[in-house]
Chains A and B, each alone.
Chain A
Amino acid sequence: MGRVAIEQGYFTIPDDPAEPPRLLGSKCPRCGEHFYPRRLVCARCLHQGTEAVLLGPTGRLHTWTYVHVPLFAKKDGSVDAYGVGQVDLPEGPRVQAILVGGPDDFEIGMELELDLETLSSDEDGNDVVIYRFKPTAGSGRVA
């Protein structure tokens, strides 16, 4: 039994559960722009043939909201309210994802770190995981 991604091709699942995942991104060898998720053609200079890179695991919160209805698309029906944010990775891409924490835990500009959450288990007994962002230690909301 191990951990499997809800969908292949978007993020790593480290062997060590204490290690944060990374996002599977692309870098343009000509203009240097980074992208998430992976793409073949550079969206900035239209160069064909980007390089595979790993992005994150930290970023800064650009904006966030707290949603008061059950998690959309029933990925996790037990969750009736949750945070959503846009996170700016140091490499450039802005990533939209679920946030870990309560309605009072977030502030624009705070540092967040990628984290894996278990949603369910598959028929082989593996944990099915999705990535989310959580506040890094010490980056809690300034009082």
Chain B
Amino acid sequence: MRIEGAAVAGIGMVRFGRYPERSGAELARDAGLAALHDAGITLADVDEAYVGYIQPAAMVGIKAMKELGLTGLPVTHIENASATGLVAFREAAWAVASGRAEVAMALGFDKMTDMARGAPSRGMGRDQLDSTILPAAYFALWAQRRMHDHGTRPEHFAAIAAKNWNHGALNPLSHRQTDHTVTVDEVLASRMVAEPLTAMMACPADDGAACAIVASTDWVQRHQPDRRMVRPIASALQSEAYSPGHTFLGPVVGPATMTSTTARLAYEDAGLGPDDMHLALCHDAFANEELEYYELLGFCAEGEGEKLLDAGDTALGGRIPFNTDGGLIARGHPGGPTGLAMVHEIVTQLRGEAGARQVEGARRGLAHLVGGGSVCTVNLFEAD
């Protein structure tokens, strides 16, 4: 079903990075206040909130919300692994589109550096066999199989990583900032993590927060008459569909068809196709993923991703720029706020406020995330 009558009224985020001296609630507060300020409101105007985070403790989200005020509003916690932020946004968008709320907030935050240091995490106490293998390995398994099937070379993965590092350098809110143009050779020469993936092909472990406020289009027209309105128009969410050879044990990438199925549903809901998009943000926790998603999101045929990449079509200035804000690789990937950073970038681009990385004439954008190898969400946005 197409999302009707909802628009993004405000965005805010804390640049992803390492914040050993700051709590997750403080980061969430600052992102929330930035979004409220961008919308020109306070929490008193918010009818409902969805708070997303991956960190394991219970009720962390509602505690963070109290930093913004105690107004009695309904607060719901959302956790869908890496997809958390976009799923929180999806719920806020539908709360408004359904008429239940006039203004809804989606807030995401996480401190991945705490989890990386070995603080109690969801993984501990789970099936031990389930937590034996480094996350990079599952994505490397996918990359190795693609190299076998399509003749893809590590240089292709490195080219995607270099592109996203260089996009990040144009985004003041990107965690990773370089003072030079990152090259394919530099990415290939960085530390090998899981063959063929090197450290520079992987996202960092970082902290951060991001927030988006959704309101009815009537509300936004009334309160923000001079700003270009950006509307969520479709949001598809899928979990895995069984097919023979499914891998159940161990964190895995999940079936690739999950992304193609979810994208098809989103396009159908919107009555649009990949050719109608002007930029895309995808789950590039590891560079080989982005190559796969060119195809699975429908931007080229299967096995044609390398051609799209080599032609420069997915870089800024190309036909369909991917991860214009640096993606997970450069902008960062704390977990809960990642999807809301994507919303932040798409809204900034569609408002025409992206500065040096502005996609000229961008009117529609796509945001994709997978979570835990078990869920996928594809969200489409349109500007007037």
Contacts and interface: CB of A to CB of B under 8 A. Distances in A.
Interface of A: 6-7, 10, 33, 35-37, 39, 43-44, 62-69, 71-73, 75, 84-86, 88, 92-98, 103, 108, 130
Contacts of A130: 129, 132
Given A39-B248, A96-B247, A108-B145, 16 more contacts: A33-B244, A37-B248, A62-B245, A64-B144, A65-B194, A65-B196, A66-B194, A67-B140, A67-B194, A68-B195, A69-B134, A69-B136, A93-B248, A95-B249, A96-B138, A96-B250
A85 B141 contact: yes
Contacts of B197: 65
Interface of B: 123, 127-129, 131-134, 136-138, 140-145, 148, 191-197, 242, 244-250, 252
B194 A63 contact: no
Given A63-B148, A72-B131, A73-B131, A84 B194 contact: yes
Contacts, number: 104
Contact of A62 (B143, B145, B196, B246): B145
Given A62-B145, A64-B144, A75-B132, A84 B137 contact: yes
B247 A72 contact: no
A44 B249 CA distance: 17
Among all A-B residue pairs, the 6 with the closest Cβ atoms: A65-B140, A63-B145, A72-B134, A96-B250, A43-B242, A84-B137
B193 A69 contact: yes
Contacts of B127: 7
Nearest to B141: A63
28 contacts: A6-B129, A33-B244, A37-B249, A44-B242, A62-B245, A65-B140, A65-B196, A65-B197, A66-B194, A67-B136, A67-B194, A68-B194, A84-B133, A84-B134, A84-B137, A84-B140, A85-B141, A88-B245, A93-B248, A94-B246, A94-B247, A95-B249, A96-B133, A96-B247, A96-B250, A98-B133, A108-B144, A108-B148
A63 to B, nearest CB: 4
Nearest to A42: B242
Among B132, B191, B247: residue with most chain A CB under 10 A = B132
B210 to A, nearest CB: 28
A75 to B, nearest CB: 6
Nearest to A43: B242
Contacts of A62: 145, 245
A88 B141 CA distance: 14
Give the residue among A10, A72, A85 with the most B Cβ atoms within 10 A: A72
Nearest to B138: A96
B129 A7 contact: yes
A71 B129 CA distance: 13
Nearest to B145: A63
Nearest to A97: B250
Contact of B128 (A7, A36, A39): A7
Contacts of A66: 194-195
Given A63-B148, A68-B193, A96-B133, A86 B141 contact: yes
Nearest to B118: A74
B249 A72 contact: no
A68 B196 CA distance: 11
Contact of A72 (B132, B145, B192): B132
Contacts of A68: 191-195
Contacts of B242: 43-44
A88 B245 CA distance: 7
A35 B248 contact: yes
Contact of A67 (B134, B246, B252): B134
B144 A65 contact: yes
A59 B162 CA distance: 37
B373 to A, nearest CB: 11
Contacts of A94: 245-247
Contacts of A92: 244-245
Contacts of B132: 71-73, 75, 98, 130
A7 B142 CA distance: 27
Nearest to B137: A84
